[in-house]
A and B are shown apart, each in its own frame.
Chain A
Amino acid sequence: MLRCEGATLDYGSYRALSGVSIHVDKGELVVMLGANGAGKSSLFLAISGLRKLKAGSIRLGEHELAGRKPSQIVADGLVQCPEGRKLFPGMSVLKNLMLGAYVHRNDPEGSKPILEHVFAMFPILREKQHDTAGSLSGGQQQMVAIGRALMGRPKVLLLDEPSLGLAPLVVKQVLAAVKAINEAGTTVLLAEQNAFAALKIAHRAYVIENGHIVMEGHPDTLMGDERIRKAYIGA
């Protein structure tokens, strides 16, 4: 469904990604583990078209994404819920969600059931739909960000560190929602530092270090790997 081959990205003389090759099959939930600065966000931003690759290709189905505009990539069916949420803080929760459906603006009827679905998944958002997004707690803002991404009707959903900075109970709720979204048929690529919780819901995982993919495998294999346990699980 989503396939990166030899993706290479430079920031000036600093190489953020070197020859990254990954694939996410239809219906899969794949986790990308890595420390801060390992290249997770760079890869995600490149997939969404916000950073230009120096070399390599990114394909969605048969579509080449490298070189396309971010807005076209969203319309193609690849939507990202970014690290740090990147909401519109001065707008209401409802308006944030509706702007998530911007590429489907000519089909408002089609967005209604998705909005209902988002409210059913995160009932607090229905209650707070008229509050400004900036006034919400971190966990609630993360829910808005996930809901906003779902409004874009993704075939493939990228989630960059959705649990970052959240209380343990909220982390659980957010990851449960990610699992449910995947079970409902959306292909998911999830970047996480919270390796233990992420590996429990994943079908497959990659480990990225210094812009290189250093490991790929089944969650159980990674969970059993001494080095992974030390570096990412802390046990």
Chain B
Amino acid sequence: MNLSLFVQQILNGLTLGSVYALVALGLTLVYGILHIPNFSHGALFTAGAYVAFFIVGSLGANYWVGLIGAALATAAIAMLSERLVFSRLRDSPPLHDMIAAIGLLLFIEAVAHAIWGADFRRLAPPYPGIMRVAGTVLPIQRALIIAGAIGLMVALHLFLRRTVTGSTIVAMAQNREGASLVGIDLTRVSLITFAISGALAAIAAVLFAPINLISPGMGNLVILKAFVIIILGGMGSVPGAILGGMIIGFAESFGAFYISTDLKDIIAFALLVAILSLRPQGLFPAPAR
């Protein structure tokens, strides 16, 4: 076995895993609050990429301005979806939320399609160079993805564990009525959670876009995999989302290289079936509510 090729696969796995974990983190946070899988989360990923494409490609701004603009705009879209759609369905059966979420996904995709068309778009990497790591090459964009994801995960962890506002999100996920009875406002917590999930999805998309392409359907496969990840990791579990993201990222990168590139997307779902038949509660079930 060639060592530098092996290291290459590790780096690829980390890159993919970072993107998946960021998307899955937002999904799992919203699941903790809403108790429904938010299918429209994939559209936030798409929206983030297009906002950055607009800011960088059409307005000619700097990549980082595009990244921050996309995070803010997508956080706003996510908050708007909470206000206009999900908060109004709070007392209805979960099925209604799911249908609404799918509707929202199709709506946002259609808006992107109407404005930018079905063509694939490219976002140029801010630093097109490469760097050498352990005898192999690593494009700087991939290093940015890995470093960015790790930075955001640490920041999110500190936010949830060390700040009062972060604790209210965790409290609301662990016991909604208990949280209301100590005076935590459900609306405020929901809005903050949706904003964070939107921003994380957008940042993941903008980091990923330079090594991928932008299209209206780009969020679909990512969101399906994010679901696989939070099911694997345990619905609502933050460490589970990170570890699950890495497992899927590594499985895809090694699977594509050592088995077949054509099977890359099947691997995530095969893994889902395999792990769930052995451990139906997921790898890290969230604490009982």
Contacts and interface: CB of A to CB of B under 8 A. Distances in A.
A91 interface: yes
A89 B288 contact: yes
Interface of A: 48-50, 69-71, 74-75, 79-80, 82, 85-91, 95, 99-100, 102-103, 105, 134, 148-149, 151-152
B175 to A, nearest CB: 5
Interface in B133-185: 164, 167-168, 170-171, 174-175, 177-185
A203 B288 CA distance: 38
Given A86-B181, A99-B184, 10 more contacts: A50-B180, A69-B185, A80-B181, A82-B177, A86-B175, A86-B177, A87-B178, A88-B178, A91-B167, A91-B174
Interface of B: 164, 167-168, 170-171, 174-175, 177-186, 286-289
Nearest to A145: B178
19 contacts: A48-B180, A48-B181, A49-B180, A71-B184, A75-B183, A79-B182, A85-B178, A86-B181, A87-B178, A88-B170, A89-B175, A90-B170, A90-B174, A91-B170, A99-B168, A102-B183, A102-B184, A134-B288, A151-B182
A30 B95 CA distance: 42
Give the top 3 A-B pairs by smallest Cβ distance, nearest first. A74-B183, A86-B178, A103-B183
Contact of A148 (B177, B182, B286): B182
B175 A71 contact: no
Contacts of A85: 178
Nearest to A97: B182
Contacts of A105: 164
A148 B184 CA distance: 13
A50 B175 CA distance: 14
Contacts of A149: 181
B180 A89 contact: no
A152 B171 contact: no
A202 B186 CA distance: 34
A74 B170 contact: no
Contact of A134 (B181, B182, B287): B287
A86 B288 CA distance: 11
